[in-house]
Amino acid sequence: MAQTLSVLVGRFEQQGMSPGQAQIEAVSQLARSVGQQAQALAFQDVFLISAAVTVPAILLPLLIRSPSRRRKTSPGAPVD
């Protein structure tokens, strides 16, 4: 991280900023980058949690048998 910061400071100084301004701008840009990465990871976590909840919610009703299917009726018996 220190190496990245020094590279950014060098780039900003080449653009004509003072060393103090370059340091502030480099830290700001690095903070934005870290924030974007954290946001992407949070979206990924939300997607995985949503999938973990949705897939069983879709499959569970297909696996549950209704009570009328459980009862065995004889071939000639009336159906309720």
pLDDT of residue 64: 86
Annotate 5-38 with DSSP letters as a single string: HHHHHHHHHHTT--HHHHHHHHHHHHHHHHHHHH
Element (H, E) at 39: helix 19-63
The model scores a pTM over 0.95 = no
Report yes or no: 27 and 9 within 8 Å, Cβ to Cβ. Answer: no
Say what the pLDDT of residue 61 is.
87
Kindly write down the DSSP assignment for every residue of 51-79, as one continuous string: HHHHHHHHHHHHHSPPHHHHS---TTSPP
What is the pLDDT at residue 11? Answer: 93
pLDDT tens string for the chain (80 positions)?
A: 789 889 999 999 999 999 999 999 999 999 999 999 999 999 999 999 999 999 999 998 888 877 666 556 556 656 65
